[in-house]
């Protein structure tokens, strides 16, 4: 297989990666919507679709890395890119830039989703600690010794 054909194939794989990253970003938005609306059926379906898209992206990434390895071999990627005809070089840089932009979008959506899930988990934990004090960490008695948290504490007002 000629280098020109490999470059065309590499650019084609990167184009497919862009499409799948767009799909991943859309599914991430759907996941967040399902999570916020507490639509568990939709959440599960969206998670399954995300797993499928992720598997396709991973497969394409393996192909991309294999193609790059065959193109570069022992040399330098920059040197190989410099040897490309101007039209191919321009197209490669264009697709690479678009792919990077898609990755930034996906990264921000996944970080946003992780932040949302983390804040909801933290809120749940804080609520539980307020409502059920025994779920807090270590408890101490009035003498400063470690007290058992096996049972719920009872607070009695002596002023009644």
Domain-embedded: residue 27:
yes
- 15: domain CATH number is 1.20.58
Domain-embedded: residue 153:
no
Indicate the number of domains in the chain: 1
133 close to 140: Cβ distance less than 8 angstroms: no
Give the integer Cα–Cα distance in Å for 154 and 22. 55
Domain-embedded: residue 131:
yes
pLDDT score recorded for residue 98: 96
| Residue 152 tokens, joined | 């719920």
Judge if pTM exceeds 0.85. no
Domain-embedded: residue 154:
no
Q: Torsion angle of alpha carbons 71, 73, 75, 77, nearest 10°?
A: 40
Domain-embedded: residue 156:
no
Domain-embedded: residue 84:
yes
User: Which residues span the domain enclosing 90?
Assistant: 3-135
Tens of pLDDT, residue by residue, the chain (160 residues):
678 888 899 999 999 999 999 999 999 999 989 988 989 899 899 999 999 999 999 999 999 999 989 888 878 888 888 888 889 899 999 999 999 999 999 999 888 888 888 888 888 878 877 777 666 666 666 777 776 655 555 556 666 5
Domain-embedded: residue 160:
no
Domain-embedded: residue 143:
no
Length of the chain: 160
Nearby residues of 61 by Cβ (< 8 Å), 6 or more positions away? 17
């Amino acid at each position: 297989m000629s280098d020109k054909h490999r470059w065309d194939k590499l650019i084609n794989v990167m184009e497919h990666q862009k499409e799948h990253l767009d799909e991943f970003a859309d599914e991430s938005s759907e996941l967040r919507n399902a999570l916020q609306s507490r639509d568990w059926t939709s959440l599960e379906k969206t998670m399954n679709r995300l797993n499928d898209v992720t598997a396709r992206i991973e497969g394409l990434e393996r192909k991309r890395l294999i193609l790059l390895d065959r193109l570069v071999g022992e040399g330098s990627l920059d040197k190989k890119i410099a040897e490309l005809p101007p039209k191919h070089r321009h197209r490669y840089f264009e697709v690479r830039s678009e792919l990077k932009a898609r990755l930034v979008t996906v990264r921000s959506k996944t970080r946003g989703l992780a932040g949302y899930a983390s804040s909801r988990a933290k809120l749940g934990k804080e609520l539980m600690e307020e409502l059920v004090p025994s779920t807090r960490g270590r408890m101490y008695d009035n003498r400063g010794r470690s007290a058992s948290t096996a049972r719920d504490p009872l607070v009695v007002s002596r002023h009644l």
